[in-house]
Amino acid sequence: MSLLGENLVRTDAVGKLTGEARYTVDYDGKDLLHGSLLRSPVPAGLIKAIDTTVAESLPGVRCVITAKDAPDARAGWVLREQALFARKQVRFEGEVIAAVAADTPEQAREAVAAIILDLAETQAVGDMETALAENAPLVHPEWKSYQPVSGEDYPRHGNIASELMADDDAVDVAFENADLIVEDEFTSNRQYQAYIEPKSAVGIYRDGRYTIHTGHQYPFNVRDRVAQYLDVRPSQVRVIGHSIGGGFGGKLDTGLEPYAAILSKFSGGRPVKIVNNRTEDILTCPSRENAVIKMRSALDKQGNLLGRELICHMDNGAYSGEMAFMPSVIFHLAGSVYKVGNIRVIARLVYTNTAPTGAMRGVSGVYFCAFQERHMDHIADELGVDRREYRLRNLVGNGDTLLSGQVLDDADLLRKGFEKMEEAAPWSQLNDNKKPWHGIGICAGTWITNSMPGSVQLILNEDGTVTVVTAATDNGSGAVSMGITQIVAEHFGLPADDIVVTMPDTDVAAYDGGSQGSRTTHIVGRAAGIAADELKGMIFDVASGMLEAGRDDLELVNGQVGVVGYPDSRISLGDIAMTATWTRGPLSASGSYTTAPVPYNPGCASGMLFPFFPTPTYHVHLAEVEVNPVTGNVRVVRYIVVQEVGRVINPAGVRGQIQGAVAQGIGHALYESLRIRDSRYLERSLEAYRLPLAVDMPEVEIITMEHPHALGPFGAKGVGEPAIILAPATVACAVSDAIGRPFNSIPITPEDVLEAIVGKEKQL
């Protein structure tokens, strides 16, 4: 029986339910020390002196370290700009200034409180407008001295951390010839990943090497970053993965790991554990960035799009992390759904004295889609054309190209998505039957399957089971506990119980690009398939000798190899493994995979360009909202997702990812927001940060479109991210429809809604 499309129970379910699962915070031992960090109390300032003498003398304290104890090195994902400890300048509230290791967490915290910090607060650059103003103070006065991690430097200057431009003179012509110009400005605020488990890490320094225990989405990134900070070779750092209490992109770069590592070194090699409290976690999370987009479109009399101009400013916070790539997300998406004519894209990443922003599920695509879709609604309204009809008219199709020149082979799936949606929820019927204070939105989008490399080693054990050695992580998505497990089981005809997947360990497994961008099932699943094919070849070699039959006459069915047509000839994988081990050596095989680059036009843009938009998937969403006219609260009463997935490996897994992504998207659209006042977050606890609750969520109706991808494992593409891409867009369009006023700012709060309602009432 095939396991594909079966709702197998995830392999980590029981452990997580019973409490057996080991998270980093569970790491224990009699010699364990506890770390705590002194963080900058101000968003911008100059350190004049740090006096640690009192702190060092406190009971239980093993070491107190500051910048003078750390290597003079800068680290970063893309740009080497951040030191382990602020040496002279602090650039955001929460930046680490000193670290303490002590026998108990309380002693460590007391020692941190006893460090005497002489710090002169300086003028902070609190927002992008200030940062981009003439003569603005520079967040990094020494920006010119920073080096990119690899390759050539990219356009950046002053408070602009990264800039991407794609220009076309024809855009100006389009606007000159336009019969109608539609213009909008959109803003969106920061979103916290809000995983259940705040960040934590354990560091151990022994025999000249650092070992890190961490529940992390991307262990190899931790390895590389810790190596940069501590100025050692990456192979001198070993990262061991643990169960992860959620990540959503917030655990893709290092957090506490390098501090735990260096504290161990200064504590005689004893393990040091650091655990964020929730406030620390919020203040330093690499949140989804806030952004401002100005979008304007030129149209002819018939409403055809002649051209578009798009200027996007994204708040980088004080350090870049992987943000330097994000302007290119805007660039790719700008031509990915609708034929918009000639287009100009200017995307800038802006330094501010606020917590560094970073990756969160769907990265910059989430707000981009919200703005593009609201803009499409606006154009349709101006033209007096039905919103759905206007989208269909301008939809890209097979053979259309992105701005990079990359050809979209399967873009007709967008139109098919609209058809599927129409079957589930006929548009005109919904509009005709709309109740008062109800609104509907329909949106379309494309999204990527991240191309980063992955690898798998498969070992056939002597008991007939298969061990999967991989650094792929299951951040809760099920990509490993369901996806990879089920894919490997399917290859060998084994039950999922016979597949053992190791936890990530950078000493044991080869490189993996982390649980990001919906990549794990697709990339690592494909690597597993390559390894499985090789291992099966070895199995047939051995079995052919055992069965005295030609290789080509053999088949692998239900974990047994036999001669085709002779059901009695079957021998188990265990017997084959045992024979192999003692005759020719144990059987194992490896597979590696990364999406091959697709052709594109290198001259398409200037700036830090992620060169292609790998393995796109296609999506259509529909939402119906109900507005409470008394309070301005919005409730999403119906939500439908039509999602192209390649191939469903585990329906429950796909469902969980889509439901969860929509929930997180509705959170971004209506509830969640890290607001900044005077360069500091207003929301500093989960009491203040409004995560939506289960009772606030609709049951999402899910329609999957299977369109097996030639290179995906059994055709599977990425599933985890795409459903968040359109959720804020669809909700924003529906709320705008309900009130008859544009909502171009995310989140849409009850205050915004009520203000619009009151404004309308006054007009009447």
Partner 1 sequence: MLERFISVSSEEEALAQLNAHGEELQILAGGTDLMVQLQQSGQRTRRLLHIEKIPGLQKISYNGETGIGALCTHRQIVESTLLAHYRSLRQAAAQVGGWQTQMVGTLGGNICNASPAADTLPPLLVHDARITLVSQARGSRVVDLEKFLLGRRHTDRHHDELVSGITLSQPPERGSDIYIKVGRRSATEVAIVGLAACVALDEHRRLIEDVRLAVCSVGPVPKRLYEIENLIKGQEISDSLLDEAGEMLLELIEPIDDVRASKKYRAMVAPRVLREAITCCAQNASG
User: Quick check: 41 binds partner 1 (CB under 8 A)?
Assistant: no
CB nearer to partner 1: pick between 465 and 679 = 679
String marking each residue 653-692 x if it binds partner 1 according to CB under 8 A: ------------------x----------xx---xx-x-x
State the sign of the Cα–Cα–Cα–Cα dihedral 12, 18, 21, 24: positive
Task: Please report how close the Cβ of residue 641 comes to partner 1 at its closest, in angstroms.
Answer: 22
Q: What is each CA distance from 189 to 631, 673, 676, 752, in whole angstroms?
A: 22, 6, 9, 14
Indicate which single residue of 630, 699, 763, 764 sits in contact with partner 1 (rule: CB under 8 A). 630
CB nearer to partner 1: pick between 9 and 688 = 688
Task: Please report how close the Cβ of residue 746 comes to partner 1 at its closest, in angstroms.
Answer: 15
Q: Which of residues 534-573 bind partner 1 (CB under 8 A)?
A: none
Binding segment toward partner 1, per CB under 8 A, in 201-209, 392-400, 429-437, 627-635 = 627-635
CB nearer to partner 1: pick between 483 and 632 = 632
Q: Which of residues 690-729 bind partner 1 (CB under 8 A)?
A: 690, 692-693, 695-696
Lookup: tokens for 545: 């000798």
Binding segment toward partner 1, per CB under 8 A, in 313-321, 346-354, 524-532, 754-762 = 754-762
Task: Please report how close the Cβ of residue 682 comes to partner 1 at its closest, in angstroms.
Answer: 6
CB nearer to partner 1: pick between 301 and 677 = 677
Task: Please report how close the Cβ of residue 735 comes to partner 1 at its closest, in angstroms.
Answer: 15
Task: Please report how close the Cβ of residue 751 comes to partner 1 at its closest, in angstroms.
Answer: 4
> What sections of 384-484 are H helices per DSSP?
387-394, 412-424, 427-432
Q: In this structure, are residues 736 and 540 in contact, taking their beta carbons and an 8 Å threshold?
A: no
User: Quick check: 633 binds partner 1 (CB under 8 A)?
Assistant: yes
Pairing of strands 61-66, 96-102: antiparallel
Task: Please report how close the Cβ of residue 630 comes to partner 1 at its closest, in angstroms.
Answer: 5
Indicate which single residue of 114, 414, 623, 754 sits in contact with partner 1 (rule: CB under 8 A). 754
Task: Please report how close the Cβ of residue 629 comes to partner 1 at its closest, in angstroms.
Answer: 8
Indicate which single residue of 41, 545, 651, 750 sits in contact with partner 1 (rule: CB under 8 A). 750
Binding segment toward partner 1, per CB under 8 A, in 306-314, 317-325, 699-707, 753-761 = 753-761
Task: Please report how close the Cβ of residue 696 comes to partner 1 at its closest, in angstroms.
Answer: 5
CB nearer to partner 1: pick between 49 and 695 = 695
Task: Please report how close the Cβ of residue 119 comes to partner 1 at its closest, in angstroms.
Answer: 23
Binding segment toward partner 1, per CB under 8 A, in 62-70, 181-189, 461-469, 745-753 = 745-753
Cα 726 to its chain centre, rounded Å, is 15
* Cβ within 8 Å of residue 661, ≥6 positions away: 361, 362, 720, 721, 722, 723, 724, 727
* Cβ within 8 Å of residue 134, ≥6 positions away: none
- CA proximity to 303, closest of 381, 374, 217, 362: 381
Pairing of strands 237-241, 209-214: parallel
Pairing of strands 116-121, 45-51: antiparallel
State the sign of the Cα–Cα–Cα–Cα dihedral 126, 128, 134, 139: positive
User: Quick check: 764 binds partner 1 (CB under 8 A)?
Assistant: no
Task: Please report how close the Cβ of residue 628 comes to partner 1 at its closest, in angstroms.
Answer: 9
Binding segment toward partner 1, per CB under 8 A, in 142-150, 162-170, 296-304, 626-634 = 626-634
727: phi then psi, degrees, rounded to nearest 5:
-65, -50
Q: In this structure, are residues 724 and 667 in contact, taking their beta carbons and an 8 Å threshold?
A: no
User: Quick check: 758 binds partner 1 (CB under 8 A)?
Assistant: yes
Indicate which single residue of 245, 335, 632, 713 sits in contact with partner 1 (rule: CB under 8 A). 632
Task: Please report how close the Cβ of residue 52 comes to partner 1 at its closest, in angstroms.
Answer: 23
* Cβ within 8 Å of residue 37, ≥6 positions away: 96, 98, 99, 100, 112, 256, 259, 274, 280
Q: In this structure, are residues 384 and 351 in contact, taking their beta carbons and an 8 Å threshold?
A: no
Task: Please report how close the Cβ of residue 676 comes to partner 1 at its closest, in angstroms.
Answer: 13
CB nearer to partner 1: pick between 209 and 690 = 690
How far apart (Å, rounded) are the C-alpha atoms in residues 600 and 589? 34
Q: Which of residues 314-373 bind partner 1 (CB under 8 A)?
A: none
CB nearer to partner 1: pick between 376 and 756 = 756
User: Quick check: 113 binds partner 1 (CB under 8 A)?
Assistant: no
CB nearer to partner 1: pick between 113 and 557 = 113
CB nearer to partner 1: pick between 266 and 743 = 743
CB nearer to partner 1: pick between 611 and 750 = 750
Full DSSP string of 618-681: EEEEEEEEEE-TTT--EEEEEEEEEEEEES-S-HHHHHHHHHHHHHHHHIIIII--B-EETTEE
Identity of the residue numbered 396: V
Q: In this structure, are residues 11 and 483 in contact, taking their beta carbons and an 8 Å threshold?
A: no
Three-state secondary-structure class, residue 79:
strand
User: Quick check: 751 binds partner 1 (CB under 8 A)?
Assistant: yes
Three-state secondary-structure class, residue 495:
coil
Q: What is each CA distance from 48 to 120, 172, 236, 252, in whole angstroms?
A: 7, 52, 34, 33
# of chain residues touching partner 1 (CB under 8 A): 21
Q: Which of residues 438-477 bind partner 1 (CB under 8 A)?
A: none
String marking each residue 572-611 x if it binds partner 1 according to CB under 8 A: ----------------------------------------
422: left (phi over 0), alpha (psi -120 to 50) or beta: alpha
Task: Please report how close the Cβ of residue 218 comes to partner 1 at its closest, in angstroms.
Answer: 32
How far apart (Å, rounded) are the C-alpha atoms in residues 87 and 661? 40
**E strands, 226-290, where?**
237-241, 272-275
Q: Is the peptide bond before 59 cis (omega within 30 degrees of 0)?
A: no
User: Quick check: 478 binds partner 1 (CB under 8 A)?
Assistant: no
Task: Please report how close the Cβ of residue 316 comes to partner 1 at its closest, in angstroms.
Answer: 25
- CA proximity to 692, closest of 749, 638, 753: 749
Task: Please report how close the Cβ of residue 680 comes to partner 1 at its closest, in angstroms.
Answer: 12
CB nearer to partner 1: pick between 244 and 748 = 748
Torsion angle defined by CA atoms of residues 354, 356, 357 and 360, in that order, rounded to the nearest 10 degrees: -140
Q: In this structure, are residues 705 and 716 in contact, taking their beta carbons and an 8 Å threshold?
A: no
The three-state DSSP-derived secondary structure of 716-740 is CCCCCCHHHHHHHHHHHHHHHHHHC
> Given the rule CB under 8 A, which residues bind partner 1?
629-633, 671, 682-683, 687-688, 690, 692-693, 695-696, 749-751, 754-755, 758
